[in-house]
Structure 1
C-alpha cells in the first residue's frame, strides 16, 4: 500500500468517525417549524406511590424551560384554572384534548411529564435512589413535537475513601441511612430535567426570550440561503 493510499484511508476513517459521533438533530425539525413561544406545563402524572414526587418535578422543570427562553405559566395558576374547569387529577388532564387545554391558557404547546419510577433501595451500606421520567411536548392541536425519557440513579455513598476501612464503612452506613430516611430526589430531578432539555440528542432549541435565539435561527437559515 502506497503512502497516498494510507493517507486516503486514514482521512476516510476520520470522516466516517466524525459522522458517526455527530449528534442526531433531525428530531429538532418539528420544533424549528413550530418556533414555540409559550409552553404550558400541566400537572405531572405520577405512576408511583410517592405523593411528593410531582411537586419535586414541578419545582425545577418550569425554571429550566424559562432558562431555555420559553414562557411558562405559573404552576399554581395552572393548577387553579384547571381545577376550576373540573380537572382535579393529573391523569384527567393528560387525557383531555390538547386543543382545549391550549385554548384555556393561550399556549403554543403543552408539556406532559409522567413519573414511571421514584424509589430508594436500601441495602444497609448502600442506598440507590432511582427516577424514571417520560416527557412529551405537543402543539396546540395535539401533534407530537418532541419526546424524551430519562432514567437516573443517585448513590451518595459512592465517595472517595478516607484510607480508614472501618471509618469508611461507618460513613457509608450513615449516609445510606440518611438517604433512606429522606431520599434526596430534588438534585436528581434537577439533573434529569437538565440532561433532557440540554442533552446532545434531546435538547430543546433556544426560545424567543433566550439571548441567542436570533443568532441560532440565523445560522439555521444560512445553509438554505446558499443552496
Structure 2
C-alpha cells in the first residue's frame, strides 16, 4: 500500500508538471489603469531618435497608424500632427514629446498619446555578417490625467532569417558584403521598422496592447 501511494503521488506530480508546461502564458503587465481609462483615440507623437540614422523618426512614424487602427483605435493623422507642431515652431521630436498633456489634448482632442523612442535603426556590418536591426519602446499616456496606461518594447532584425551555412569563410564574407550593399540601396530598414511597429503595438499576446473600442475583439467589460 505504501509503494502504491508513492506511485500515485509521483503520477500526480508528473501530470501537474505537464499541465503547467502546457499552460497558456499569463499576463504579467498590470492593465488596471488601461482598463479604467478605456482610450478610444490615440495621438502618436513623432518618435525620439536615439540611433545615428536620421531616417529613424519618420521611418517608424509612417508605419504606426495602421496597426493601431486595426487594433480598434482612432489615430489622429500623423502627418497632420507633425505639420501642426512645425507650424508652431516645434520641429524636434524631443520638444514635441515634452509638451504638456493638457496642451496636447486641447490641440488634438485625443484620449491618449503614444510616446515612442527608437533605440536602434539601420544596418550594421561586421567581419562575417551584416544585419538590419530596429528596436523601439513605447509608452501610452492618458492625456486626461497623465496616467501611464501601458509600456512595451519590441525589435525586428534580419538576423532572424540569417543562414550562413555553406561557402566557408570566403563565402560568408562575400554574402555579408552583398547584404550590406542590398540593405543600403533598398533601405530594408524601413521594412523592418514596419515589423517592429506591428510587434510594438500588437494585441492578443502577453503584455501586449489591449484592443480598442472599434475592434470586434474589444472587451466592453474591461
TM-score w.r.t. length of structure 2: 0.82
Deviations 1:200-221 (A, max 9, x none): 23321211111222xx335x6x
Question: For this pair of structures, how many residues does the alignment match?
Answer: 215
Instruction: Give the whole-Å Cα distance in 2 for the aligned partners of 1:127 and 1:169.
Output: 9
Instruction: Give the whole-Å Cα distance in 2 for the aligned partners of 1:167 and 1:131.
Output: 26
2:220 aligns to what SS in structure 1?
A: helix
Instruction: State whether structure 2 residue 190 is matched by structure 1 residue 178.
Output: no
Cα RMSD (Å) of the superposition? Answer: 2.7
How far the C-alpha of 1:106 sits from its partner, in A, is 0.8
Instruction: Give the whole-Å Cα distance in 2 for the aligned partners of 1:28 and 1:157.
Output: 33
Q: 1:30 aligns with which of 30, 33, 53?
A: 33
**Which sections of structure 1, spanning at least 5 residues, go unmatched?**
221-227
How far the C-alpha of 1:145 sits from its partner, in A, is 0.7
Paired residues of 2:67 and 2:202 also in contact (CA < 8 A): no
Greater helix fraction, Structure 1 or Structure 2: 1
Instruction: Give the whole-Å Cα distance in 1 for the aligned partners of 2:172 and 2:51.
Output: 33
Q: 1:101 aligns with which of 98, 101, 104?
A: 104
1:83 aligns to what SS in structure 2?
A: helix
Instruction: State whether structure 2 residue 162 is matched by structure 1 residue 158.
Output: yes
Partner of 2:146: 142
Instruction: State whether structure 2 residue 207 is matched by structure 1 residue 202.
Output: yes
Query: 4+ residue stretches of structure 1 with deviation over 3 A?
Result: 14-19, 163-173, 180-183
**Which sections of structure 2, spanning at least 5 residues, go unmatched?**
none
Instruction: State whether structure 2 residue 198 is matched by structure 1 residue 212.
Output: no
TM-score w.r.t. length of structure 1: 0.81
